[in-house]
């Protein structure tokens, strides 16, 4: 049992450190995760179609995402509103 407790204690300390980093540097952590997710998704058909490989900032991701929503969801009549990501078209983001 002491070995299991030691392993669990180590895992918990590591996780607490990660949570503290998330609280201290939220923007940097989110940017890092965005890059990781895009790096993983760039090899998918969807990632190739929307050039995830070329996205290097949140702003670029936001622009491409709005374009993707327009094409994928099918709001062809209100492309300009979706491109600017107006809340009336995309709805309220829950987080």
Tens digits of residue pLDDT in 22-54: 899 999 999 998 999 999 988 888 788 888 899
Give this prediction's pTM.
0.58
Across the chain, how many H-helices and E-strands are there? 6, 0
pLDDT at 78: 53
Secondary structure E strands in the chain: none
pLDDT tens-digit readout, 48-88: 888 889 988 888 888 777 767 666 665 555 555 544 554 44
């Amino acid at each position: 049992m002491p070995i299991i407790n030691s392993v669990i204690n180590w895992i918990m300390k590591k996780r607490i450190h990660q949570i503290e980093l998330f609280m201290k540097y939220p923007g940097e952590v989110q940017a890092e995760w965005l890059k990781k997710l895009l790096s993983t998704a760039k090899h998918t058909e969807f990632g190739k179609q929307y050039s995830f490989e070329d996205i290097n900032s949140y702003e670029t991701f936001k622009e491409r995402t709005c374009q993707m929503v327009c094409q994928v969801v099918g709001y062809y009549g209100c492309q300009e509103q979706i491109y600017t990501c107006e809340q009336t078209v995309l709805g309220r983001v829950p987080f």
